[in-house]
Amino acid sequence: MANLLLRHRDIPDLHKIDVYQKHGGYEGLKKALSISPQDVISIVRDSGLRGRGGAGFPAGVKWGFIPKGEGEKYVVINTDESETGTFKDRELSEYNPHQVIEGAIIAAYAIGARTIYNYFRGEFMDAAYAMEEAVQDAYKAGFLGERIMDSDFSCDFYCHYGAGAYICGEETALINSLQGELGQPWSKPPFPAVEGLYKKPTVVNNTETLANVPLILVNGSDWYKGMGTAQSAGVKIVCMSGHVEKPGNYEVELGVTYRQLLELAGGMKDGKKFKALLPSGGSGPVITESALDAPLTYEGLTEHGSVMGSASVIVMDEDTDMVWAALKMIHFFKHESCGKCTPCREGTFWMERLLHRIYEGHGTMQDVQTLENVANQISGRTLCALGEFAVNPVLSTIKHFPQEYRAKVKEAVPA
């Protein structure tokens, strides 16, 4: 199947507006402007498109939450791609920026927003020129600005650059950051759809989610629903990294198995044996061989105790030390904890210390139990998902690889 999101791989120079238009670009916007905002929301809702940032919330339903009527509203694109192992939104922004822009304009029309902010992580500035150039071209061509395509709809688009904070991928933290505050989440409610950016109704959508929208408008919701599975419609970009022969982004229909993904990525690096993979960057529990035939869907890994999330698949071979891998991940979450709520701030700190001691060979079985205990005390008690994510690599590696923990602590105790 030809790529729908990573179309630039088939079409050279797709970042240029004339090339994009030659290949059906901005036809989705044209279609949207010819029908009512409510009908746009219905089409996207009926397509089954769900959030591609990882949470999987139905996009059309999210748009439908925005109050109708006059008043300022905002669309915010979440390009704060910072999950370990995730690099899809960067490729889309750099090589197929118009599809993201077009999707965002359609979203703005649907909810009645006249301003779009694209929140990039500050480390992507180098890749942002393509997006900035594309925005300028879209203005010149009349797809942004006043009276878009001679309709009554007007909309502005601004790129904004973060400054290095994973937590800003969380929508309320992102909004705070955009308001010039510390990027810390707030306790919901209020939800952004009611009280978001500058206290106005706001839709925050992931970059990849929006890139699907123009095609859905052009081809219809039945066409989109025809791909993927009943609960997880459409296509998804999967970021393959770690011990595979060909790391990179792969666009697939939802429903393929993790084993097929490994094959797509050229199989295991250097012919080594597969040991485990993290299906959702650092934030989802690790899975092993027994889960490889599960489908890539939002619910596909539930029975294996994990999640698809953003589909950032980090593959590990037989030689990988799982305690080391858990320590790497907990170091990440400790560093990225925003410090606002105590269980996450203190919990990630202590989990890292404990794991470090175990990894260095100075730990005891009591430390492993304490580690589990701390993890369980974080779970369910944090303001946002970061705390939940942080316990996943710890608890899942203890569950699947207890022998590796035992071996580490055994070494420390003389027989």
Partner 1 sequence: MIAEKYPEEIKGILARFPNKKSAVLPLMHLAQHEYGYMSDEAMREVAGILDLDPTHVLSIAGFYTLYYEEPVGKYVLEICNDLACALRGADEFVEMASDTLGIPVDGTTEDGLFTLKTVMCLGACDKAPMLQCNLRFEENLDKEKFEQLLVRLREAADSGPAEPGVVQKVTSYAVRK
Cβ closest to partner 1, residue 22 vs residue 140: 140
When asked if residue 389 is in the footprint of partner 1 (CB under 8 A), the reply is no
Q: Does 235 sit near partner 1 (CB under 8 A)? A: no
Does position 277 interact with partner 1 (CB under 8 A)? The reply is: no
Q: Tell me whether residue 337 or residue 382 sits nearer to partner 1 (CB atom).
A: 337
- Alpha carbon distances (Å) from 283 to 54, 80, 133, 226, 312: 10, 16, 33, 30, 10
* CB of 397 closer than 8 Å to CB of 326: yes
Residues 57, 60, 65, 67, CA torsion sign: positive
- Give the residue, chosen from 163, 365, 407, 413, that forms a contact with partner 1 under the rule CB under 8 A: 163
CA torsion sign, 119 to 122 to 123 to 124? positive
Q: Coil, strand or helix: which one is 52?
A: coil
Single residue of 47, 78, 86, 232 touching partner 1 by CB under 8 A: 86
Amino acid at 354: L
Is the CB of 43 or the CB of 338 nearer to partner 1?
A: 338
Rule CB under 8 A: say whether 165 interacts with partner 1: yes
Among 20, 95, 109, 124, which residue sits at the site for partner 1 (rule: CB under 8 A)?
Answer: 124
For residue 188 the two structure tokens come to: 């919901």
For 222-226, which contacts have Cβ atoms below 8 Å and span 24 or more sequence positions? 222/46, 224/47, 224/48, 224/49, 225/46, 225/47, 225/48
Residue type at 11 in one-letter notation:
I
Given 66, 254, 325, 351, the residue binding partner 1 (CB under 8 A)? 325
Give the torsion sign (CA, 43, 237, 120, 174).
Answer: positive
CB of 333 to partner 1, least distance (A): 10
Q: Could you tell me whether strands 235-242 and 202-206 are parallel, antiparallel, or unpaired per DSSP bridges?
A: unpaired
Per CB under 8 A, the list member of 160, 272, 345, 381 interacting with partner 1 is 160
Structure tokens at 89: 């939104």
Under the criterion CB under 8 A, does residue 146 sit at the interface with partner 1?
no
Query: Tokens for 406?
Result: 């035992």
Least distance to partner 1 from the beta carbon of 344, Å? 15
Stretch that binds partner 1, among 16-24, 244-252, 295-303, 372-380 (CB under 8 A): 244-252
Which of 46, 132, 195, 299: binder of partner 1 (CB under 8 A)? 132
Contact string 195-214 vs partner 1 (x = CB under 8 A)? ---x----------------
* Strand residues in 192-259 grouped as ranges (E): 202-206, 235-242, 248-253
Between 254 and 313, CB nearer to partner 1: 313
Instruction: Enumerate residues 6+ apart whose C-beta is below 8 A from 237.
Output: 5, 6, 52, 88, 91, 92, 208, 249, 250, 251, 311
- Does 242 engage in binding with partner 1 (CB under 8 A)? yes
Nearer to partner 1 by Cβ, of 44 and 316: the residue is 316
Told to check if 169 binds partner 1 by CB under 8 A, we report no
Residue 98 lies near partner 1 (rule: CB under 8 A):
no
Interface ranges with partner 1 (CB under 8 A): 81-87, 89-90, 121-129, 132, 135-136, 139, 158-166, 177-183, 198, 239-243, 247-249, 278, 281-282, 312, 314-316, 320, 325, 328-329, 332, 335-336, 338
